[in-house]
């Protein structure tokens, strides 16, 4: 006979007086958490005859899944594309600091670098769960060096590479290892890119198209071979043209394999993408939009000179340029700022604004069964926000890891 006793002695926390983002709607119900997972209260009551050990009054806050940033180059003085002796403490600092901006998981991103940098840095990036120490690490995003010279953006030209005869072996030799790699951005018009895309996809690595002069048919071919993402749409690619819309045309392409969704990153900082372009993309393909910060080491620091990999960049307000040029080089926007700007620019619902930074990146990476939603049995990584979408508290695995200090307000 099954016992009526609770299946676990771990404490059960009940978050009350809140609106939970679940099934694309804000729903007025309680959130139940035990052992880092979200509980189904019906099972708890009827199967286990259990009840809450702790009740927390959320004071009418919104509870939403934690944000997932799949493209962040650094921040707070730390540059992920620099091979330093204290790289680990740098990544720890960033993962701690982004908690206050609602990011509970991220992909540290390396821009085009010499092979020696990949060989030194990648072994130091370990996939790990988040917690009080900081946001979880989902794996590295390698943006380059297999990208177009014409659309290199802020990437150093002398480090760019093409695929040689043994294309995938060439990529492996460049990176040294793919053990901790989650996303690779490449230009699909490069010779032999198809075999590389297939090999990466076979290994469960997400292939993103970017820094590219590909036409639409080259982009469609890349998707047919397994590519599923577009790196910062509109930036570092051919501009939309009505006779050949290029990579942008993937948003409404009828050549996408059945059952496949193409996702696309957007930097919603008010600088990289005009609000009208944000609206066009969102209305054309709302289910594919993924907000990314593309943040650089200067995020969270005062204006001035900072680094992005091998280059020096200048920060002027929210603009970041390669020193001495007007070439944009990443952003200094935080994820919560991007979410608020996105909602303001598109006029979308609160639910949509929150999902493009949580559910959609989780779907892109195929981890939506545990991250990016507040479904039962999902990881209890969530945020408390006010109605203006300012983060009030961040929780990872059901534990509070950051809270807004209101004492000085």
166 to 149, 170, 195, 196, 219: CA distances (angstroms):
21, 6, 10, 10, 22
Q: Could you write out the DSSP letters of every residue in 291-352?
A: E---B-TTTTS-SEEEEETTEEEEEETTEEEETTS--B--B---HHHHHHHHHHHH---HHH
* Residue 189 within a domain: yes
Q: Averaged over 88-114, what is the pLDDT?
A: 98
Residue 272, annotated as binding a ligand: yes
Out of 79, 269, 294, 381, pick the active-site residue: 294
Considering the domain architecture, whether residues 396 and 285 belong to the same structural domain is answered as no
Above pLDDT 90, what percent of the chain?
91
Segment 364-375, tens digit of pLDDT: 999 999 999 999
Q: Averaged over 219-242, what is the pLDDT?
A: 97
* Residue 44 within a domain: yes
Whether the predicted pLDDT of 301 surpasses 80: yes
Segment 131-159, tens digit of pLDDT: 999 999 999 999 999 999 999 999 999 99
Supply the pLDDT for residue 5.
Answer: 46
C-alpha 313/C-alpha 306 separation (Å) is 5
Residue 143, annotated as binding a ligand: yes
Residue 328, annotated as binding a ligand: yes
Considering the domain architecture, whether residues 37 and 170 belong to the same structural domain is answered as no
* Residue 51 within a domain: yes
Considering the domain architecture, whether residues 180 and 267 belong to the same structural domain is answered as yes
For residue 55, give its domain range.
4-64+372-403
Cα dihedral 343, 349, 352, 358 sign: positive
* Residue 110 within a domain: yes
Residue 235, annotated as binding a ligand: yes
* Residue 215 within a domain: yes
Segment 44-64, tens digit of pLDDT: 888 888 889 999 999 999 999
**Both structure tokens of 354:** 């929150």
Residue with tokens 């609206």: 279
Residue 374, annotated as binding a ligand: no
Q: Supply the CATH number for residue 236's domain.
A: 3.20.20.140
C-alpha 21/C-alpha 25 separation (Å) is 5
Q: Are 147 and 187 in contact (CB under 8 A)?
A: yes
Segment 323-348, tens digit of pLDDT: 999 999 999 999 999 999 999 999 99
Supply the pLDDT for residue 233.
Answer: 97
Residue 232, annotated as binding a ligand: yes
Three-class secondary structure of residue 55 per DSSP = strand
Considering the domain architecture, whether residues 237 and 198 belong to the same structural domain is answered as yes
C-alpha 13/C-alpha 398 separation (Å) is 8
Mean pLDDT of the chain: 95
* Residue 408 within a domain: no
Supply the pLDDT for residue 9.
Answer: 80
Considering the domain architecture, whether residues 35 and 130 belong to the same structural domain is answered as no
Q: Averaged over 149-178, what is the pLDDT?
A: 95
Please tell me the total count of domains within the chain.
2
Q: Supply the CATH number for residue 39's domain.
A: 2.30.40.10
* Residue 123 within a domain: yes
C-alpha 222/C-alpha 220 separation (Å) is 5
Considering the domain architecture, whether residues 12 and 138 belong to the same structural domain is answered as no
Active site residue 294: yes
Whether the predicted pLDDT of 164 surpasses 60: yes
* Residue 409 within a domain: no
Three-class secondary structure of residue 195 per DSSP = helix
Whether the predicted pLDDT of 2 surpasses 50: no
Considering the domain architecture, whether residues 191 and 227 belong to the same structural domain is answered as yes
Considering the domain architecture, whether residues 41 and 129 belong to the same structural domain is answered as no
**Both structure tokens of 174:** 């460049």
Considering the domain architecture, whether residues 240 and 123 belong to the same structural domain is answered as yes
C-alpha 66/C-alpha 7 separation (Å) is 27
Residue 236, annotated as binding a ligand: yes
Three-class secondary structure of residue 388 per DSSP = coil
C-alpha 332/C-alpha 14 separation (Å) is 36
Considering the domain architecture, whether residues 28 and 110 belong to the same structural domain is answered as no
Considering the domain architecture, whether residues 266 and 388 belong to the same structural domain is answered as no
Count of residues for the chain? Answer: 409
Helix axes 216-224, 193-202, angle to 10 degrees: 30
pLDDT band at 77 (very low <50, low <70, confident <90, very high): very high
Considering the domain architecture, whether residues 59 and 70 belong to the same structural domain is answered as no
pLDDT band at 7 (very low <50, low <70, confident <90, very high): low
Q: Averaged over 243-260, what is the pLDDT?
A: 97
Residue with tokens 């982004």: 98
Nearby residues of 344 by Cβ (< 8 Å), 6 or more positions away? none
């Amino acid at each position: 006979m099954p016992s009526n006793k609770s299946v676990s002695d771990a404490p059960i926390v009940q978050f009350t007086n809140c609106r939970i983002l679940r099934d694309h709607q804000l729903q007025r119900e309680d959130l139940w958490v035990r052992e880092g997972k979200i509980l189904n209260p019906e099972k708890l009551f009827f199967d286990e005859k259990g009840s809450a050990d702790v009740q927390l009054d959320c004071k009418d806050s919104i509870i939403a899944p934690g944000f997932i940033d799949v493209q962040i180059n650094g921040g707070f003085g730390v540059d992920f594309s620099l091979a330093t002796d204290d790289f680990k403490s740098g990544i720890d600092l960033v993962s701690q600091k982004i908690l206050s901006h609602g990011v509970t998981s991220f992909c540290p991103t390396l821009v085009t670098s010499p092979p020696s940098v990949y060989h030194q840095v990648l072994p130091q990036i370990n996939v790990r769960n988040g917690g009080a120490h900081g946001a979880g690490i989902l794996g590295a995003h390698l943006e380059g060096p297999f990208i177009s010279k014409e659309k290199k953006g802020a990437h150093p030209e002398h480090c760019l590479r093409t695929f040689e005869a043994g294309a995938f072996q060439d990529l492996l030799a460049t990176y040294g290892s793919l053990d901790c790699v989650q996303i690779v951005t490449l230009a699909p018009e490069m010779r032999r890119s198809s075999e590389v895309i297939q090999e990466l996809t076979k290994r469960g690595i997400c292939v993103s198209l970017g820094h590219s002069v590909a036409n639409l048919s080259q982009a469609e071919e890349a998707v047919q071979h397994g590519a599923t993402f577009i790196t910062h749409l509109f930036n570092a690619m051919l501009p939309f043209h009505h006779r050949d819309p290029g990579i942008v045309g993937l948003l409404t392409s009828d050549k996408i394999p059945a059952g496949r969704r193409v996702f696309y990153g957007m930097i919603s900082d008010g600088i990289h993408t005009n609000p009208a372009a944000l609206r066009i993309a969102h209305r054309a393909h709302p289910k594919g939009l993924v907000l990314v910060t593309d943040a650089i080491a200067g995020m969270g620091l005062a204006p001035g000179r900072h680094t992005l990999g091998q280059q020096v960049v200048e920060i002027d307000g929210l603009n970041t340029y390669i020193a001495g040029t007007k070439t944009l080089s990443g952003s200094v926007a935080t994820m919560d700022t991007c979410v608020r700007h996105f909602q303001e620019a598109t006029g979308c619902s609160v639910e949509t604004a929150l999902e493009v930074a949580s559910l959609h990146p989780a779907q892109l990476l195929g981890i939506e069964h545990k991250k990016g939603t507040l479904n039962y049995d999902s990881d209890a990584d969530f945020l408390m926000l006010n109605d203006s979408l300012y983060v009030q508290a961040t929780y990872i695995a059901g534990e509070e890891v950051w809270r807004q200090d209101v004492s000085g307000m």
